[in-house]
């Protein structure tokens, strides 16, 4: 196998694996099971979270954080990482 074939095969494998590595909502935090985090749900695990901080990560402005918005907040250190 040539180097070009190996690179292509590796890129293809990464592309297939990407959805498996996507951000996920933690059901322990998402107590209403709607697949998103409300401010009230997040304040249980991050009591110092303010409405302003929450809203700054609610890019869609729908009043909840989806998995990607929550992942951004987690990467910023404002939300604890999922255990396990």
Domain boundary assignment for the chain: 23-79
Q: Three-state DSSP class for 41?
A: helix
CA geometry: angle at 67 spanning 38 and 33, to 5°? 50
The structure tokens listed for 71 are 């992942």
Q: Which of 82, 70, 83 is CA-nearest to residue 39? A: 70
**pTM beyond cutoff 0.75:** no
Task: State how far the Cα of 21 lies from the Cα of 23, in Å rounded to an integer.
Answer: 7
The more confident residue out of 15 and 24 is 24
Which CATH code of 1.10.238, 1.10.287, 3.30.420, 2.40.128 fits the domain covering 23-79? 1.10.238
Average pLDDT over all residues of the chain:
82
Q: Give the mean pLDDT of 19-31.
A: 78
User: From CA 43, how far away is CA 67, in angstroms rounded?
Assistant: 16
Query: Which residues are registered as beta bridge partners of 65?
Result: 37
């Amino acid at each position: 196998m040539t180097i070009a074939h190996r690179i292509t095969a590796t890129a293809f494998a990464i592309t297939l694996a990407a959805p498996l590595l996507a951000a996920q909502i933690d059901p322990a935090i998402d107590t209403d099971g709607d697949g998103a985090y409300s401010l009230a749900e997040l304040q249980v695990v991050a009591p110092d979270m303010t409405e302003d901080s929450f809203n700054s990560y609610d890019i869609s402005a729908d009043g909840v954080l989806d998995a990607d918005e929550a992942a951004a907040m987690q990467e910023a250190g404002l939300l604890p990482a999922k255990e396990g």
